[in-house]
Amino acid sequence: MKSESTAQEQFLNVIDRDEAERRFHAVIDDSPREVETVHLQTAWGRVLAEDVKSPIDVPSFDRSNVDGFAVRAVDTVGATEDTPRKFALLDEVIATAKVPTSVVTPETAVPIATGAMVPRGANAVVMVEHTDYQNEKLYVYRSLTPGSAISFAGTDIAAGETVLRGGEYLTSRETGVLAAIGAETVQVWRRPKVVIISTGDEIIEPGKAMTPGLVYDSNAQILSDAVRELGGEPIVGGIIQDDYADLQQKLQEALATADVVLLSGGTSKGAGDISYKVVRKLNDPGIVAHGVALKPGKPICLAASQGKPVVILPGFPTSAVFTFHEFVAPVIRKMAGHPIQKHGTVAAEMATQIQSEIGRTEYLLVGLVERDSENNSSELAAYPMGKGSGSVTTFSRADGFVTLGRHEELIQQGTPVSVQLLGRDLEVADLVAIGSHCLGLDFLLGELQRAGFRSKFLAVGSTAGIHAVERGECDIAGIHLLDEKSRKYNQPFLKPGMTLLTGYRRMQGIVFRHGDDRFEGKEAVGAVESVRNASDCLMVNRNQGSGTRVLIDQLLGESRPEGYAVQPKSHNAVAAAVLQGRADWGIAIEQVAQQNELGFLPLTHEEFDFVVPDKRINRPAVQEFQRLLSSEAIISELAKSGLTRHES
């Protein structure tokens, strides 16, 4: 029998997403908050609470649009370069902010400035460029029609006209209109106050020293800025460790002042999770859903206290952000007076095969890339952003998500899907890189960005990068594949229609912790040979399809040392596993070993090159990427990181 402190409860009442949303909205008050008056200077980003009518005409007088001469249009009829019409000039010069005293009569004209009031009798203004003054006469060389170069009073905005409507979001365009009609203040909806409380013994504030077992509180920052974007006022409640009494007090304080309370973490029903235990003590009505058939986001807890939403978001960043946008964001938008937000959808094809979990609606975050449509039914390919719910970057880098139904278990590569965009519009990158990751590629894409080209990178490994090139889904693919027969890198793997851009060499080797006698001072191949069958010496592998995995399998042959099944997707992840003692050795590039102060046994120089589809070789971003690769300044910078030019 487990004790109270160690027993883990289960999610016994996992419900459908739509049912969870229905229950939640049935017990909360998500109507717009009170109306408040703000000064126009602080109105940007607010939502109008009522229609705005103009008290004046704009312009409020007949106004000249050019520098020239106010005339009667009928007197200019027939005027040409060869047959100008002559006018007598009146004595007055009409400047801005001046009420004219002159009256324009037949065949008379009066000088007038741009923005000045048109005098009585005039119904057109001739530009000064179309006139000449000789012998005390004004010669006009252009025939005009009534109204030429004049903005008549009220032609922009008429007095009494509704210029803005309640519910409109005030940007610089709207505040400009308000200023034009003389509005000093404006009626807006109050921003809903959203208290954000982070929970967990393992959470620390950014800026504090990192130690093993701790994580920085990224959720509070993400959620705070998301609340601002939605029109709310975030109030950061700080970090509460796993202490029931402290969290209970903090929750009560938050409910006294907030419109919405968000707790991050502690929603699962495992040992140490206390957020849901505190929230379930709330009344009227308390928890209405705890456990929703979602992936990511199953542990989300939806509750309310006297109409105020109280939501416990999962602690993992991707789960937290996704469930926030699914359940909380619409509530905050409505409280802030915003209309319901409609996200666009685009058609795409799945770039890889996907397995889903029966019984749960899964929201699969994807990155979208353009493909060569002549060979494909869809112009977009959807690549899963498969870093897991603990990833901080997945949501920020994704373009949208695909909804996989509760009864869908397998989505084949090439299956047509509908992608709901996370933003209003899909911003297509100037250059898409799909393939293996490298610090040198990071540097090159950064330089490309500084040259004015937006890039998108998807780390899928060298082999998948080649396939992406073959399917016309990317502009470049970074690869480092060694052909076992020829012992040549990359070139043997090219297919017709592909061009190889020469990249650079980098050293691959064994990484280990300094002081480990099994590796210290040894030669790489011999060291691996001596530990490959040692049960107390754990390796960390690399993902299938990566160039490094090919190298590892060639090195090990048929051997499968302890830890072989652990397959992270980057050199940095390999180094982290060794540094933290979760593994004793792995294969990574020398630069990563140096950055992490790990021991390094050189194994082989490998060639990291770039494959380009011939159809895309002349794209401006690809041309700029080639220029960077051949730039002596760039080559010099790469060399500082141990990445050296090699002959093609």
CB atoms under 10 Å from CB of 603, counted, come to: 20
The β-bridge relationship of strands 294-295 and 361-370 is parallel
Give the phi and the psi of residue 610 in degrees, each rounded to 5. Answer: -130, 125
Contacting residues for 258 by C-beta, under 8 A, at least 6 apart: 193, 194, 195, 235, 308
- The CA angle 225-229-230, to the nearest 5 degrees, is 120
Position 223 scores a pLDDT of 95
Mean pLDDT, contiguous 10-residue spans, the chain (648 residues): 41 80 96 96 95 93 96 97 97 96 97 97 97 96 96 90 92 95 96 96 91 89 94 95 92 96 78 80 91 87 96 90 92 92 84 83 86 68 72 74 84 90 76 90 93 89 92 93 89 95 94 96 94 93 87 92 90 92 94 94 94 95 96 93 82
Q: Would you give the distance in Å from CA 366 to the centre of its chain?
A: 12
Give the amino acid at 613. Answer: P
Chain position carrying tokens 């330089």: 447
**345-421: which CATH number, 4.10.520.10, 2.60.320.10, 2.40.340.10, 3.20.20.80?**
2.40.340.10
Position 13 scores a pLDDT of 74
For residue 308, the surrounding DSSP H or E stretch is strand 308-313
CB atoms under 10 Å from CB of 338, counted, come to: 18
Tokens of 136: 């005390």
Contacting residues for 292 by C-beta, under 8 A, at least 6 apart: 14, 15, 16, 17, 20, 298, 300
CATH 3.40.190.10 is held by the domain 63-151: no
d(CA 385, CA 362): 13
Which 3 state secondary structure label does DSSP give 94? strand
d(CA 190, CA 194): 12
CB atoms under 10 Å from CB of 347, counted, come to: 13
d(CA 152, CA 285): 61
Which 3 state secondary structure label does DSSP give 391? coil
35-58+156-189, CATH topology level: Molybdopterin biosynthesis moea protein, domain 2 (3.90.105)
Position 362 scores a pLDDT of 85
pTM: 0.77
Q: Please state whether 387 falls in left (phi above 0), alpha (psi between -120 and 50) or beta.
A: alpha
d(CA 284, CA 214): 36
Burial bucket for residue 533 (CB in 10 Å: 0-12, 13-18, 19+)? exposed
d(CA 513, CA 515): 6
Position 385 scores a pLDDT of 81
Which residue from 486, 525, 491, 489 is spatially nearest to 505, judged by alpha carbons? 489
Are 474 and 601 spatial neighbours (Cβ–Cβ below 8 Å)?
Answer: no
Count CA atoms closer than 13 A to 272's CA, side-chain side: 9
What CATH code would you report for 17-31+191-335? 3.40.980.10
Residues forming beta bridges with residue 607, ordered by sequence position: 505
The domain segmentation of the chain, as residue ranges, is: 17-31+191-335, 35-58+156-189, 63-151, 345-421
Are 574 and 472 spatial neighbours (Cβ–Cβ below 8 Å)?
Answer: no
d(CA 439, CA 403): 33
For residue 499, the surrounding DSSP H or E stretch is strand 498-512
Chain position carrying tokens 């012998």: 135
